[in-house]
Amino acid sequence: MTILDQSTTTSPASVAAEAVALLTGFGVDPALLRRGDLVARSPLTGEETARLAVVDPASAAPVIERAHEAHLAWRTVPAPRRGELVRLLGEELRAAKDDLGRLVTLEAGKVTSEGLGEVQEMIDICDFAVGLSRQLYGLTIATERPQHRMMESWHPLGVVGIISAFNFPVAVWAWNAALALVCGNSVVWKPSEKTPLTALGVQALFERARQRFGADAPEALSSVLIGDAAVGAALVEHRLVALVSATGSTAMGRAVAPKLAARFARQILELGGNNAAIVSDTADLDLALRGVAFAAMGTAGQRCTTLRRLFVQEEVYDVFVDRLKSAYGSVRVGDPRVPGVLVGPLIDHAAHDGMVAALAEAKQAGGTIHGGDRVDVAGEDAFYMRPALVEFPPGAGGQPAIMQRETFAPILYVMRYRSLEQAIALQNDVAAGLSSSIFTRDLHEAERFVSVEGSDCGIANVNIGPSGAEIGGAFGGEKDTGGGRESGSDSWRAYMRRATNTINYGKTLPLAQGVVFDV
């Protein structure tokens, strides 16, 4: 069924023309946007925005080799000085925030506030990394040997490969690049084929910062490889790429991980997240409603941390779910540039087909579907969908198979529960383990949820939804989510190598553990 929602249908100027103008303003040569085989499209209208030349796998090797040479020079620059480059990058991002946020909206379909918010994440991680550049601490360790000192030090790793997904086309690069750069590494970025233009824009802004920084920042310190999965594979397999941070599906992670393991390279994997929330009978239902609505419908259900499963205590189920259904029915779906629109388009036709297939399976499994219709906003080549809420009846025998798989679309599956133990068991009974949350005013429930007996996810929140993470905390998950951590806390350690040093400043040679070896 197709619904025509005229209130959110607009006839703006060409998306392609605006995207080209924004990129030109960043310093991207417009000739690069019309001479290749990779067709870039905007999900807003489905129109073609550019044609980009792609890098073949063989041509990736020289780019990586130049990045390695850049690393060899960059690693000798003192870390606080390296932080100055990232500070300048943050300045460029601040100055370009409105325009880059707009480009994110045009290419990834995010509403205006979310596009701007993604750029703000980049700025925030730059600020974090600048401070970090003076805090790459090692340790002084007590030693059993007299006139000896033992210490731990950290050194740059090498070339860091970054493979990013369409849903956060620029922030994920920044999470990795800002830390990698202050840690003394170079970066090579393979963006999603669905969002290559934002990558070109960010690279141009980085080059502005590098030019301002001066000769200490070598060329090829940051590079972009536009291409398909074969280019990503070339990045993964190259011996000079010391670390690969890859964001995408669990299937992608299963393909990448063995290749990295085969050559003992490091990996940061940020994969699927079939995230859940629990609404207790003690919850502030107004707060829970806002938290659930944003987490489930924001970014059109295309965040790694999107809320996909909801467990509501049976005593408040009817009143809460009725209110939630009203919110789903009233949320504005449409062109994300229009004020008041909260849900923009799915990224492409494949995402639409995946949502339709999931809803059909949910119905077959006994689910009652509210919403999920296609909304006609910009014609047949743009895929706007009303968010869907699917209720599964009590006594369904656990979660149906469709609930145990992540569908990257705005579908929220809802079930009732009786006890907290039951709710936690349901939440944890999926392969992924990225993010989770509970809404409760009961201290026992809150503490139980974040304890070892509670959520098994990398992120466990109380009285906020599972999405919307800040950069200060380490971001990542467990199980099929991959186990990697990016962004804040001590995530920087993944971008460096550790050395334990023992220094003998005496004139004898005592051995550890009382060993005697006189010659």
User: Domain for residue 180, yes or no?
Assistant: yes
Q: Is residue 200 one of the residues assigned to a domain?
A: yes
Question: CA 381 to CA 36: how far, in whole Å?
Answer: 22
Residues 120 and 232 in one domain: yes
Q: Is residue 43 included in any domain, yes or no?
A: no
Judgement on whether residues 167 and 286 belong to the same structural domain of the protein: no
Residue 449 is predicted with a pLDDT of 98
pLDDT, residue 113, reads 97
Tally of domains within the chain: 2
Q: Locate tokens 């804040």: which residue? A: 488
- Determine, yes or no, domain membership for 158: yes
Q: Are 204 and 185 in a shared domain?
A: yes
Residues 287 and 392 in one domain: yes
List of residues 6+ apart from 50 with CB closer than 8 A: 16, 19, 20, 33, 34, 39, 40, 196, 197
How is residue 12 annotated by DSSP? P
CA distances from 256 to 131, 159, 248 (A): 32, 17, 11
CATH of the domain at 209: 3.40.605.10
How many residues does this entry show for the chain?
519
Measured over the CA atoms of residue 125, residue 118, residue 213 and residue 176, the dihedral's sign is positive
Q: 246 and 314 in one domain? A: no
Is residue 486 among the annotated active site residues? no
Residues 6+ apart with CB under 8 A from 21: none
Catalytic residue from among 270, 406, 445, 486: 270
Residue 5 contacts residue 334 (beta carbons within 8 Å): yes
Would you give the distance in Å from CA 406 to the centre of its chain?
A: 16
Contact 410, 432 (CB under 8 A): no
Q: Are residues 146 and 249 in the same domain?
A: yes
How far apart are alpha carbons 451 and 449 in whole angstroms?
A: 6
Q: In this structure, what token pair is assigned to residue 172?
A: 């994920």
Neighbours of 492 (CB within 10 A): 22
Q: What is the pLDDT of residue 428?
A: 98
Q: Considering the domain boundaries, does residue 227 fall inside one?
A: yes
User: Which amino acid belongs to residue 79?
Assistant: A
**Full domain range(s) for residue 367:** 275-477
The answer to whether position 449 is within a domain reads yes
**Domain-embedded: residue 7:** no
Residues 6+ apart with CB under 8 A from 85: 181, 209, 210, 213, 217
What pLDDT is recorded for position 398? 87
Kind of pairing between the strands at 275-279 and 307-313:
parallel
Co-location of 335 and 465 in the same domain: yes
- Residue 347: CATH number of its domain: 3.40.309.10
The stretches in the chain having pLDDT less than 70 are 1-13, 395-396
Query: Which of 504, 499, 473 shows the shortest CA–CA distance to 147?
Result: 504
Q: Where are the alpha helices (DSSP H) in 238-348?
A: 250-262, 285-297, 317-330
pLDDT at residue number 233: 97
Contact of 58 with 175, CB cutoff 8 Å: no
Q: Write the CB contacts of 453 (distance below 8 Å, at least 6 apart in sequence).
A: 424
Q: Kindly list the distances between the CA atom of residue 380 and the CA atoms of 101, 107, 254, in Å, as whole numbers in the listed order.
A: 26, 18, 34
Q: Which residue matches tokens 């009203």?
A: 326
On whether both 361 and 375 belong to a single domain, the answer is yes
DSSP code of residue 473: S
In this structure, the answer to whether residues 117 and 78 fall within a common structural domain is yes
Question: What are the tokens at 192?
Answer: 């999603």
| Structural domain contains residue 37 | no
Tell me what pLDDT residue 395 has. Answer: 65
Say whether both 282 and 265 belong to one domain.
Answer: no
**Residue owning tokens 């170079």:** 186
Same domain, residue pair 310 and 338: yes
Dihedrals φ, ψ of 156, to 5°? -55, 155
Tell me which DSSP letter residue 367 carries: P
Distance CA(327)–CA(52), nearest Å, equals: 41
